[in-house]
Amino acid sequence: MIKEVENPVLETHNLTVVYDRKPAIWNIDFTLPAGSIVGIMGPNGSGKSTLLKSIMGVVEPNSGYARLFNKPLDAVRKRVSYVPQRQSVDWDFPASVLDVVTMGRYPHLGLFRKLRSEDKEIVADSLEKVGMLAFANRQISQLSGGQQQRVFLARALAQQADLYLMDEPLVGVDAASEHAIIDLLKQMQASGKTIVVVHHDLYTASEYFDWLVLMNTRLVASAPLEEVFQEEMLRDAYGGQLTSMSKIAALLREKSFPMRHK
């Protein structure tokens, strides 16, 4: 099921990335609505991270392209914030929390990256929103995994983008940090932002997202959550990796989502 959206905030067309002659993503074609919290889900190795990297130009697609706000990325880069996986970052790099979050303001600064008082206020406000203002002068290597993730989120907030692409922002965080991050994402949505999140936990998908992109190298579905979160589509995406299908089926019934069988 692929639902087309008028005036999408993000669209991909036949996006394909091949590593060592093996496709990581294959012919991905979808549109996403503005103002949603979108979950990108699928089994391990299904290409979720590669999809975000190709959209952001970190990985060059072999074919196809992405458009954001109906324009190429380079034309709207200030409006797009990318939060990579925490484990892909060198956390031993000598930088303070304040240094990292200040980087979120770089797209808005001039050649010499001189911070204005307005920029400093935005950085402080971003740190406060994620509960990390008291850690501003702490070295990032001294933080817990959940705290490091909050710093990454604060950097994204400081950019004041309209579209946020987040790769597994909830991995390695404790329950309190996870709830705080989700609450913040919903506040961002309420202010008109669009958030796209790579996520792995099917049990929380129905609580966190209102639109779901389901994939396994190819696109299985892209539509509102209640239309995608169905046993047939989950089986199509996860196949043999979905070992707890009976539990997922019970969750579907509990959430009153439709159960469709072939």
Q: Give 261's pLDDT tier (boundaries 50, 70, 90).
A: very low
The whole-angstrom separation of Cα 101 and Cα 215 is: 32
Burial of residue 154, with CB atoms counted within 10 A of its CB: 0-12 exposed, 13-18 middle, 19 or more buried? buried
Specify if 1 maps to a domain.
no
Residue 124's alpha-carbon distances to 121, 139, 154, 170, 184, in angstroms, are 5, 16, 9, 23, 16
Report the CATH number at residue 20. 3.40.50.300
What confidence score (pLDDT) does residue 128 get?
Answer: 93
Domain around 70: 10-254
Return the biggest CA–CA distance within the chain.
Answer: 60
Q: Give 6's pLDDT tier (boundaries 50, 70, 90).
A: confident
Closest C-alpha among 18, 29, 44 to residue 216? 44
Query: Into how many domains does the chain fold?
Result: 1
Q: Which residues contact 88 (CB under 8 A, 6 or more apart)?
A: none
Average pLDDT over residues 3-24: 92
**DSSP code of residue 56:** T
Specify if 85 maps to a domain.
yes
Specify if 260 maps to a domain.
no
Specify if 5 maps to a domain.
no
Burial of residue 191, with CB atoms counted within 10 A of its CB: 0-12 exposed, 13-18 middle, 19 or more buried? exposed
Q: Give 254's pLDDT tier (boundaries 50, 70, 90).
A: low
Specify if 2 maps to a domain.
no
Residue 227's alpha-carbon distances to 30, 100, 244, 259, in angstroms, are 15, 39, 21, 10
The torsion angles phi and psi of 232, rounded to 5 degrees, stand at: -60, -45
Specify if 218 maps to a domain.
yes
